[in-house]
Amino acid sequence: MWSRIKRLIEIVKGFGQEKEAVFHRAFDCAANPFETMERLIELGVDRVLTSGLKPKAVDGMEMLCKLQTAYGDRIQILAGSGVNVTNASQLMDDTGISQVHSSCKDWLQDDTTVGDAVSFSMVSGEKESCYDVVSRQLVEELLKRVEAREAETC
């Protein structure tokens, strides 16, 4: 496994010095996150997207804080999963991380999604005839709140 990860990092970095290798949330399945983080740093990973080994980042804040404290000067910790307008600033404050990943998801209605005999719906229930999009309004609000947080700490 590590040899494949190393090869992927070499490929990414081979595209130029500005390219960064980001390790996704597979990190959250690590049996020993501290050994895994050390190995990822050795291999040249620049950033790790993690929810702190929990389904949602707000549930993994304790681990996110530990990772940031132990490795934040050597690798970027990017908190993701369930991060939204209402919790991003608090997550950053409580863990010391400086980056969050959020889908800022919203739903748009599309009545052509479901027909009499065929459904192209990705979800069931009340959102069955909707599709998900990145909400400009949610992105702007998230940025506004994070920037306000940064202004308060300066």
% of the chain exceeding 70 in pLDDT: 99
Is the per-residue pLDDT at 154 higher than 90? Answer: no
107 contacts 133 by C-beta, under 8 angstroms = yes
29 contacts 20 by C-beta, under 8 angstroms = no
Q: Where in the chain is the domain with CATH 3.20.20.380?
A: 1-101
Q: What is the largest CA-CA distance in the chain?
A: 58
Mean pLDDT score of the chain: 92
Residue 100 neighbours by CB under 8 Å, 6+ apart: 57, 78, 79, 80, 83, 88, 91, 92, 146
Q: How many CB atoms lie within 10 A of CB 42?
A: 10
The per-residue pLDDT for range 69-82, each reduced to its tens digit, is 999 999 999 999 99
Say if domain 1-101 classifies as CATH 3.40.50.2300.
Answer: no
